[in-house]
Amino acid sequence: MISGAKYVHTNLVARDWRRLARFYQDVFACLPVPPERDLAGAEMEAGTGVPGTHLRGIHLRLPGGGDGPTLEIFEYAEHAPEVPRLVNRPGFAHIAFAVDSVPEARADVLSGGGTAVGEVVTVTVSATARVTWCYVRDPEGNVIELQQTLASL
C-alpha cells in the first residue's frame, strides 16, 4: 500500500482550456484555484514525454469538495490526433456529479454548450436505493454522468 496516498485531481486535456473551464464554472459552479498554469521547458518535456511540450490551464475546485480534489484543465500547444470518446471504451470514461434534479441538470448542460449521450433513466441498484442518471458531453466531447440517488419505495 502506498503511504500517504490522497486523490488530488483529474486532468482534462482541452482544445480551448479557457472555454472549457468557463463551462465547468458556469454549469457546475466549479471555482478557479489560482494560479493559471503556463508550463514549458525541459522538466515538462521530461515529465510528459512530449518533446517541445507547452501547456496552459487551470485547476477548478469541484463542487462539494471543500479543499478536496480539483479538475485540472490543460491545453497543449500541439494536440495528438483525437479518437471519439465512448462510454464503453476501456480506460477513464467519465466524471460524475450528484445533482438535485437530473432532468434540470441535463437541460443546464445542454444550454451551456454540452450535448446529450443518452436519455434520463432510473435504475434500482439495491433493495434500498434507486439512481436516476444520464450521460451528457461537455462542449469538447468529454462524458459526464449526472446522478441523483433516491430511496426505494
Beta-ladder partners of 61: 31, 70
pLDDT of res. 67: 84
> Domain 95-151 falls in which CATH fold?
2,3-Dihydroxybiphenyl 1,2-Dioxygenase; domain 1 (3.10.180)
> Between vectors from CA 143 to CA 139 and to CA 147, what angle results, nearest 5°?
115
Domain ranges of the chain: 9-76, 95-151
For 18-50, give the DSSP string. HHHHHHHHHHH--EEEEEEEEEESHHHHHHH--
Low-confidence ranges of the chain (pLDDT < 50): none
pLDDT of res. 143: 94
pLDDT of res. 152: 66
pLDDT of res. 98: 94
Q: What is the dihedral of CA 75, 76, 81, 84, to 10 degrees?
A: -20
pLDDT of res. 95: 94
Give the pLDDT confidence of 63-83 residue by residue, as tens digits.
987 888 999 999 999 988 888
pLDDT of res. 153: 61
Q: What is the CA radius of gyration of the chain?
A: 17
